[in-house]
Structure 1
Amino acid sequence: MSGLIFQGIFFFFILLILAVPLGWYIKEILQGKIPRFARFLRPLENLTYKIIGPTSQKEMSAKGYLFNLLSLSFFSLLLLFGLLVTQHWLPGGENVKNMPWDLAINTAASFVTNTNWQAYAGETDLSHFSQMFGLTVQNFISAGVGVAVLAALIRGITQRKKKFIGNFWQDLTRSLVYLFLPLSVIFAIVLMSQGVVQSFSDGTSFTGLSGQDLFLTLGPVASQVAIKQLGTNGGGFFAANAAHPFENPTILSNFVENMAILLIPAALIFAFGFWVKDWKQGRTILITATIFVGLAFIGVLINEYYGPQFADVVGQMNLEGKEVRFGVGWSSLWAVVTTAASNGSVNAMMDSFTPLAGAIPMFLMQLGEIIFGGVGSGLYGMLAFLLLAVFIAGLLVGRTPEYLGKKINVFDIKMASLVILTPLMLTLFGAMAFVLHPDVLSWLTNAGPHGFTELLYGATSLANNNGSAFSGFLADTTFVNLLGSLMMLVTRYLPMAAILFLAANMSVKKQSALSEGTLSTTSPTFISMLVIVILVIGALSFLPVMALGPLAEYFAL
């Protein structure tokens, strides 16, 4: 057990070492200060601006920024939907069928919103063309959009008396050209060295040991896996995702992919501290996120190592649904990381985890993908919680709520509340809609509390742009496809709109000098306050519904 905990400590140690310089680099590129070693990519950036046109050179208000963001997302949704429903007639599509319209809507919404919820098997239902020019392209764009919105928020916090919050196309282009593209190339090469497949071949036929004819599906896997992890997308080339040996063949590839999930979210926290020129502010967020992830990892590990069904066999680990090459330790760490970071990829079957070990990752999602979270979206979600904590703390001690020298007013709290409450309400609404559907029992392979957990996990994943699933839940139905599409779109873009208007409101404010009456947002007391606010909101919202699923199953065992 202690050895497994050491694995986690070693993992986070390496993560922090890599995140510090990457955080400085991200801050530089988002401010337009391209480091000398990356300037060879500048012609690609300039070419992109020429293609976009004059819009790429204008400062934007919150409304202009949001309009351009939604326009890109809308046309991305249409193009991906069109590609999926016509893939049989496109290059390389002779072996696949056109995707049904409802599933195509769901898949398009899933990848455009950075959710990557998959109600299909990629190796049999999609062509290489769809995987490369549809899904992989959106893996890049959706991740870049999240970083762009975060850049607008930080810019709004740090600016003084300005009505513009930057240019969407510049923020997006810089994140894609200087961050996601080069990192994806590096990670793809590393993954290929470990045996991750990268081929344009459909596959190869062979004769099995029993004499039967078998077929191994191949394809451009490494290039998709790299950005799916770095962009906290999570959608697998294969249905088994990172549990498939062609996506994740070795312990080293597993470590690299797991590291890639948290690398940019962690680096963005450092970038925030560097940008506001007060590293202690970033430290507050980093400590808070690390507390949650660390406790979650230990909780999952204990329940998978000493689960209730193993009480009579001391030391009996739960290996059901896990790849032996990863075992309990790396599978538990992945489960926590993928749900904390809104990634959704899996290297073990979540449905096979013990009740509480499955409840902990679900609770991480229910907090609103803020614990490290998705690229960009995780940090701006955490900042919404931080502003709420500042507001509450200010009321408790009788001080004017301020953050980084700017007074927090009613409008700021309304926008922050919208960011916090949108995924929360959609999770509960989705779970209610699933349970009340007359065909719900036919969607499940399990009855009782475990079956309810599968529904709740699915609603949680959709409403928090995660994409992972508990299995045992028939997701490819017209009702789930359409409702899920709506949930993914609303929970992605409504908080983004709130963040942009929050950024604009912060940007026009003057910055006050710190005084003895200013509430410290870097002290251990405030960190404790932030942790409590997050826990209270999550616990009050989801403890009753969790009691019907994983908690009931735990006590039944």
Structure 2
Amino acid sequence: MNTEILGIVLVFVLTVAFAIPLGRYIARVYNGDSTFTDGIFNPFEKLLYRFCGISPNEEMGWKQHLKILLTINFVWFLLSMFVLMCQGWLPLNPDNNPGMSADLAFNTAISFVVNCNLQHYSGETGLSYFGQLFLMFLQFVSAATGLTTAAILFNALKERTTDKLGNFYVYLIKSCTRILLPLSVITAIILVFNGTPMTFDGKQQMTTLQGETVNVSTGPVAAFTAIKHIGTNGGGFFGANSAHPLENPTYLTNMVELGAQMLVPFAMIFALGFYLNRKKLALMIFGVMTVGFLLLAIPTVIAEMNGNPALTKMGINTGMGATEGKEVRFGAAASGFWSIATTVISTGSVNSMHDSAMPLSGLMQLLAMMVNCFYGGCGVGLLNFYIFIILAVFISGLMVGRTPEFLGKKIEAREMKIAMIIALLHTLLILSGTALSTAFAEYGASTLNNPGYHGFSEILYEFTSASANNGSGMEGLGDNNPWWNITTGVVLLLSRFLPIIGPIAIAGILAAKKHVPESSGTLKTDTSTFGLMVFAVIFIIAALSFFPALALGPIAEYFSLLN
């Protein structure tokens, strides 16, 4: 077996192996059971509850959860705007980087608050260390927000009738202290011992292999890089993200960062099974997601290893695959696999330039974000998948002539309306943003560096990345201007909170309904048959929604290379 392929398989298998016990641990944390971390974090959490005036035993309804979520995120947004616009005179700025413009600060603040980390700036010159540290804080709390919403969903899916779904603050704090922080510390230590900087010094003089002296930016990179992957954030400390030799120095760090971004999303699926004591349901969900993931990853790896078909047609074959825009430390196969992992999981970090990927790879990257429910980001991936489960249950119920039920609760018109709105919202935000930026070329398309099919793909990718809370970009687009900063900022805002509000509202409404015991006629939702139904619903909605746009972009570009 090719050693690059072996490395990919090893990372995936090890991540799943670690995710299962981590999922069991997460379920115990959210269920309030005792864990081995109690002695470390209980005293700190009690002190924090007392200081903040939080009553940890007070339970909240779904509306109260959402009210707190929106309020606290608005406060984080205002603080972010202040820090980013005023960082020029704030402390920890050894390189004297200036404050951001209002539109760039608006985009950046929203992007990090919503766990997207779409970056229209370069980290070396766009942020002070104080700014980077504040964004690191947002990487923790935004990821914790996603995990908190998943915990609320877990609570709502329990087999009882209730309008109380736990305590938002308790879920949020435990997500930070007991899940994200320990995993980030372990990851950061591995990175530090493999050459990733962790310092508050300014630029350092280094000598290149050519003997030239250059000033290289450093900083608290290891900590930033660890939480960006564990929290599925994706924002790079440097402009080149994880393609930068200080952010991702070796093949080992590449494997660690790749596994780190998949770990928590995998674990949350198993946590659902342990929390509800429905392991077969968790396996069904994981199976559907994994099949979808592999259907995207395998063609991408093959396309990148085969290289440009136009060169092959001319009889040119380097044997190295598509190497443009890639680090030779990692290779074409590992870079192609990373590009799908980071778009499926909504991390958005890159170890190669997606703008240089083969058209079929770009197609798969776009599809990964358009589907937006295979694994997904911390917590919210399950919320997105939950919408498709509701749709599949309803359609299956109609096919067999029974009232649709999921986990003992009847799915009725109110829940279906919410589910359809959320399912179609993703399509609306992507295609309307792309259409407006193409139609008003003087604002949008005029900033393209590439004409034709690839240029259209760059516009489509930017709004798909924003709507999927991903953050990666093709980067052939001059996106640091008011048009792109404001339009993608609005898409980021709507695509983060409405897809959280919808599933939590559905879960809260169903939790308050009377539980209906299973009978011989109850539709089994933990079987492979139902898994195929869910996959079919996802495929049909994605195909009907996005195929025309994809045909104008990466598909047309691919066929143009063959002519």
TM-score class, shorter-chain normalisation, is over 0.9
Q: Tell whether 2:30 aligns with 1:30.
A: yes
Tell me what 1:408 maps to.
411
Q: Tell whether 2:553 aligns with 1:549.
A: yes
Aligned residues of 1:334 and 1:347 also touching (Cα < 8 A): yes
Aligned residues of 1:151 and 1:171 also touching (Cα < 8 A): yes
Write the distance in 1 (CA, Å) between the matches of 2:316 and 2:417: 52
TM-score (normalised: structure 1) = 0.97
Secondary structure at the aligned position of 1:205 is classed as strand
Matches within 5 A, 1:356-371: 356-367=360-371, 369-371=372-374
Of 463, 472, 476, the residue aligned with 1:472 is 476
Secondary structure at the aligned position of 2:216 is classed as strand
> What is the CA-CA distance between 1:361 and the residue it aligns to?
1.0
Tell me what 2:402 maps to.
399
Aligned residues of 1:5 and 1:298 also touching (Cα < 8 A): no
Q: One-letter code of the match for 1:115?
A: C
Tell me what 1:524 maps to.
528
Write the distance in 1 (CA, Å) between the matches of 2:489 and 2:276: 36
Secondary structure at the aligned position of 2:390 is classed as helix
Q: One-letter code of the match for 2:463?
A: A
Tell me what 1:163 maps to.
163
Alignment CA distance shift 1:222-1:394 (3 Å): same
Tell me what 1:118 maps to.
119
Of 459, 468, 488, the residue aligned with 1:455 is 459
Q: One-letter code of the match for 1:522?
A: D
Q: One-letter code of the match for 2:61?
A: S
> What is the CA-CA distance between 1:352 and the residue it aligns to?
0.4
Write the distance in 2 (CA, Å) between the matches of 1:98 and 1:457: 28
Q: Tell whether 2:420 aligns with 1:417.
A: yes
Secondary structure at the aligned position of 1:472 is classed as coil
Aligned residues of 2:5 and 2:334 also touching (Cα < 8 A): no
Tell me what 2:97 maps to.
96
Q: One-letter code of the match for 1:64?
A: Q
Write the distance in 1 (CA, Å) between the matches of 2:363 and 2:84: 34
Secondary structure at the aligned position of 1:387 is classed as helix
Tell me what 1:320 maps to.
324
> What is the CA-CA distance between 1:54 and the residue it aligns to?
3.9
Q: Tell whether 2:516 aligns with 1:515.
A: no
> What is the CA-CA distance between 1:209 and the residue it aligns to?
6.2
Write the distance in 1 (CA, Å) between the matches of 2:415 and 2:398: 15
Tell me what 1:506 maps to.
510
Alignment CA distance shift 1:426-1:55 (3 Å): farther
Tell me what 1:182 maps to.
182
Q: One-letter code of the match for 2:215?
A: F
> What is the CA-CA distance between 1:297 and the residue it aligns to?
1.3
Matches within 5 A, 1:316-355: 317-355=321-359
Q: One-letter code of the match for 1:282?
A: A
Write the distance in 2 (CA, Å) between the matches of 1:386 and 1:496: 15
Write the distance in 1 (CA, Å) between the matches of 2:98 and 2:119: 17
Write the distance in 2 (CA, Å) between the matches of 1:268 and 1:170: 17
Taking only aligned residues, the RMSD between alpha carbons, in angstroms, comes to 1.5
> What is the CA-CA distance between 1:152 and the residue it aligns to?
0.8
Alignment CA distance shift 1:35-1:208 (3 Å): closer
Write the distance in 2 (CA, Å) between the matches of 1:325 and 1:62: 48
> What is the CA-CA distance between 1:207 and the residue it aligns to?
5.3
Write the distance in 2 (CA, Å) between the matches of 1:421 and 1:519: 26
Please identify, of 509-518 and 138-147, the stretch whose mean Cα deviation from structure 2 is larger: 509-518
Aligned residues of 2:207 and 2:213 also touching (Cα < 8 A): yes
Tell me what 2:72 maps to.
72
Alignment CA distance shift 1:55-1:484 (3 Å): farther
Write the distance in 2 (CA, Å) between the matches of 1:12 and 1:257: 12
Can you list the C-alpha shifts for 1:46-79, whole angstroms capped at 9, x where unaligned? Answer: 1221232146542212221111111110000000
> What is the CA-CA distance between 1:40 and the residue it aligns to?
1.3
Alignment CA distance shift 1:91-1:543 (3 Å): same
Secondary structure at the aligned position of 1:171 is classed as helix
Q: Tell whether 2:360 aligns with 1:372.
A: no
Aligned residues of 2:281 and 2:527 also touching (Cα < 8 A): no
Can you list the C-alpha shifts for 1:511-547, whole angstroms capped at 9, x where unaligned? Answer: 2222211111122221111111111110110000000
Structure 2: gaps of 5 or more residues: none
Alignment CA distance shift 1:233-1:287 (3 Å): same
TM-score (normalised: structure 2) = 0.96
Aligned residues of 2:327 and 2:351 also touching (Cα < 8 A): yes
Tell me what 2:485 maps to.
481
Structure 1: gaps of 5 or more residues: none
Write the distance in 1 (CA, Å) between the matches of 2:551 and 2:241: 30
Can you list the C-alpha shifts for 1:134-179, whole angstroms capped at 9, x where unaligned? Answer: 2000000000000111111121111522112221111101111110
> What is the CA-CA distance between 1:8 and the residue it aligns to?
3.1
Write the distance in 2 (CA, Å) between the matches of 1:212 and 1:252: 28
Write the distance in 2 (CA, Å) between the matches of 1:2 and 1:11: 14
Q: Tell whether 2:48 aligns with 1:48.
A: yes
Alignment CA distance shift 1:42-1:357 (3 Å): same
Write the distance in 1 (CA, Å) between the matches of 2:55 and 2:106: 29
Write the distance in 2 (CA, Å) between the matches of 1:22 and 1:208: 42
Q: Tell whether 2:244 aligns with 1:241.
A: no
Tell me what 1:444 maps to.
448
Write the distance in 2 (CA, Å) between the matches of 1:292 and 1:310: 30
**Aligned length, in residue pairs:** 555
Write the distance in 2 (CA, Å) between the matches of 1:335 and 1:273: 28
Write the distance in 2 (CA, Å) between the matches of 1:316 and 1:323: 12
Write the distance in 1 (CA, Å) between the matches of 2:37 and 2:83: 37
Can you list the C-alpha shifts for 1:457-485, whole angstroms capped at 9, x where unaligned? Answer: 00100111100000110110101101111
Secondary structure at the aligned position of 1:418 is classed as helix
Q: One-letter code of the match for 1:398?
A: G
Of 495, 504, 515, the residue aligned with 1:491 is 495
Q: One-letter code of the match for 1:76?
A: W
Secondary structure at the aligned position of 2:524 is classed as coil
Q: Tell whether 2:175 aligns with 1:172.
A: no
Secondary structure at the aligned position of 2:367 is classed as helix
> What is the CA-CA distance between 1:130 and the residue it aligns to?
0.7
Q: One-letter code of the match for 2:423?
A: I
> What is the CA-CA distance between 1:191 and the residue it aligns to?
1.0
Can you list the C-alpha shifts for 1:212-268, whole angstroms capped at 9, x where unaligned? Answer: 542011100000111100110000100000000111011110001000111000000
Tell me what 2:301 maps to.
301
